[in-house]
Amino acid sequence: MNKSHLAAQEFLKKGLPLHILINNSGIMNCPFALSADGIETQFAVNHMGHFVFTMGLLDRIKESQPSRIVILSSFGHELTPKHMNGIDFDTINDEAKFSNVDRYARSKLANVLFGKALARRLASEKVWVNVAHPGYVATNLDRSTKEVWGDFADKVFRMVTYIAAMSPSVGALTQLYLATSPEVESKDI
Residue type, 10: E
Nearest-5° Cα angle at 172, 166 to 174: 100
Q: State yes or no: is 104 an active-site residue.
A: yes
What are the φ/ψ torsions at residue 108 (nearest 5 degrees)? -75, -35
Contact of 12 with 59, CB cutoff 8 Å: no
- In the set 104, 136, 162, 177, the catalytic residue is 104
Q: 32-58: buried (b, 16+ CB within 10 Å) or exposed (e) per residue? A: beebeeebbbbbbbbbbbbbbbbebbb
User: Which residues are annotated as catalytic?
Assistant: 104
